[in-house]
Structure 1
Amino acid sequence: MIAAQSWADARQVWDHHLMHHTPRPCSVIVGLGSHDLGVADVAAGFHLRGLAPVVVFTGSTSPTTRDRMPRGEAVHYRERALELGVPESAVLVEPRARNTGENIRFSRTVLDAAGVNVDSVLLVSKPYEERRAYATARKLWPGVDIVSASSPMTFEEYAATVGDDRMVVDMLVGTLQRLLVYPARGFMIEQPVPDEVAAAYERLVGAGFTSRLIP
């Protein structure tokens, strides 16, 4: 059972991760691989609404996804999109990426090879990865307009879909740490973190939600 203060802090960190962009027509949809098959659902829905003619699913496997997506995240995403009615001709697969930076770089390579001209990207991720995905894409894909989107759900709804509250809070904390330290490493553009969000993050770290932190 997570303490009330930690739950409130996690909700505040969750809210910061959301970009609140309005999905709109773009050159391409890029779905970032993860444990969350809902990313594929959202990307497929955007395509079926006519928001982009091409979808790229990107991602290999990780310790979190190896068992549930043994053929690789991008491959499972593609299969889900086809089930939902996206035509095979509209889907490209990038099966090698193991982190967000590689998602972006390798997706660019796949699109270049396919001859797709890109001036805007509808970037689909897990909700708490919206800001990280945006900041990474802005750094690694300059000159392209980035719209960051995810499944529209509350923190409580998302935690319920995962079924492991502690893991969700750990992931929120790890993602915020990356927003704090990755700009200096050249991995993403800087995203200001309000004082109250930083304080919530520090309390969560102090409460032991540290399994997703990097050294």
Structure 2
Amino acid sequence: MTNKKRNPSEYKEIADYMLVETELRSADLCFVFGGQNADHLADHAAKLYHKGLFPKILVSGGVATDDGRMECDRMRDRLVKKGVPEDAILVENKATNTGENVKYGMALIEKKIGLKNVKSLIGIGQIHASRRFVMTLERHWPDVVKMFSTPNYYPVPRREFHKDEKFREDVIREFNKVAPYKQKDFIREVDFDKMAKRIQKLPSLSEEARRRNTKIKKAVARLPDKTRKQRKSGYRRGNRRP
């Protein structure tokens, strides 16, 4: 029940278990789970995209939001508004629950990119259901390296969720889903220590940037001398690239 009284240590345990985030490193894909807070989710994905953390974003959700648009369409429109190129966005429009988000999302990834080309991802979803999103990914896609990040659109910090009535109700409702969902095999438990070690093996953002710069330099070096000189001259003058 969501109205059961708990002591501060119990709330801390629930926060530590439910409101998960991981270290973020460069990933092959961002996977955004739809929700009624679609604008916040899209804004967060756009912010991470512009930091260079991933080249592609999948938005998943076939449920209507309060303005009539489906979750996926609303998030896509918001991403484009925030400067994310349309060709960097994959749109999955059939899912009506978290399991379908992952299953239908994986099918779209296979069609458009190839699952073999996605070794790591950053998941984004509504904060109160953070752990369930990661556990659902673990159930259907155990091999991919999973990271997770989410915006906090509530008026209190995540560790103080119990101080806001709506935040507390949302988290406790999700907490009460975990045991029956595991029993039904909708979700799988996640070893976050093991997951952290896998994340540590991914390139950091600075390492990825150096790698990309090296590729650019090698590509420029293969150009004919005249073209290379023109490019360097253009960069010095602040001109656009040809």
- TM-score by length of structure 1 reads 0.74
Please say if 1:47 is aligned against 2:49.
Answer: yes
What does residue 94 of structure 1 align with? 92
CA distance in 1, matches of 2:153, 2:74: 22
Deviation at 1:109, TM superposition (A): 0.8
Inter-partner Cα distance in structure 1 for 2:81 and 2:8: 36
**Per-residue Cα deviation, 1:136-181 (whole angstroms, up to 9, x for no partner):** 10110121111111115777157xxxxxx54433321221122222
Distance in 2, Cα, partners of 1:154 & 1:14: 14
What is the CA–CA distance in structure 1 between the aligned matches of 2:108 and 2:98, rounded to whole Å?
15
In structure 2, the residue matched to 1:187 is: 186
Moved more, 78-87 or 168-177: 168-177
Residue type at the aligned position of 1:55: I
Please state how far the C-alpha of 1:19 moved relative to its aligned partner. 2.0
Q: Which moved more, 1:86-95 or 1:173-182?
A: 173-182
Name the amino acid aligned to 1:32.
F
Matched residues, number: 183
**Letter of the aligned partner of 1:114 in structure 2?**
K
Tell me if structure 2 keeps the 8 A contact 1:100–1:136.
yes
Work out the CA distance in 2 between the residues paired with 1:7 and 1:60: 38
Give the corresponding residue for 2:144: 144
SS of the equivalent of 1:30 reads: strand
- Inter-CA distance 109–3: structure 2 relative to 1 (3 Å threshold): closer
- Aligned-CA RMSD value: 2.9
Between the aligned partners of 1:185 and 1:48, the Cα distance in structure 2 is 39
Q: Distance in 1 between matches of 2:155 and 2:174?
A: 15
Match of 2:119 in 1: 119
The whole-number CA distance in structure 2 between the counterparts of 1:186 and 1:5 is 28
Q: Superposition pairs for residues 13-162 of structure 1, below 5 Å?
A: 13-36=14-37, 37-61=39-63, 66=64, 68-116=66-114, 117-151=117-151, 156=156
Q: Alignment partner of 1:186: what SS?
A: coil
Change (3 A) 1:138 1:79: same
Measured after TM superposition, the shift of residue 115 of structure 1 is 2.4
Structure 2 Cα separation of the partners of residues 29 and 110 of structure 1? 13
| Distance of 1:59 and 1:6 partners within structure 2 | 36
- Residue ranges of structure 1 left out of the alignment (5+ in a row): 159-164, 193-215
Aligned 8 A contact 1:32 1:124 in 2: yes
SS at match of 1:112: helix
**Residue deviations 1:30-81 (CA, integer Å, cap 9, x gap):** 11100112111111111111111110000111xxxx4514120010001111
Q: Residue 156 of structure 1: SS of its match in structure 2?
A: coil
Instruction: Tell me the residue number matched to 1:209.
Output: none
How far, CA to CA, are the matches of 1:187 and 1:25 in structure 2?
28
Q: Specify whether residues 7 and 40 from structure 1 end up closer, same or farther in structure 2 by C-alpha distance, changes over 3 A only.
A: farther
Identity score, percent = 24
Say which SS state the counterpart of residue 135 (structure 2) adopts.
Answer: helix
- Higher mean alpha-carbon deviation, 103-112 vs 167-176, is at 167-176
Q: 1:6 & 1:156 partners in 2: Cα distance?
A: 18
- Indicate how the Cα distance of structure 1 residues 136 and 84 shifts in structure 2: closer, same or farther if over 3 A, else same: same
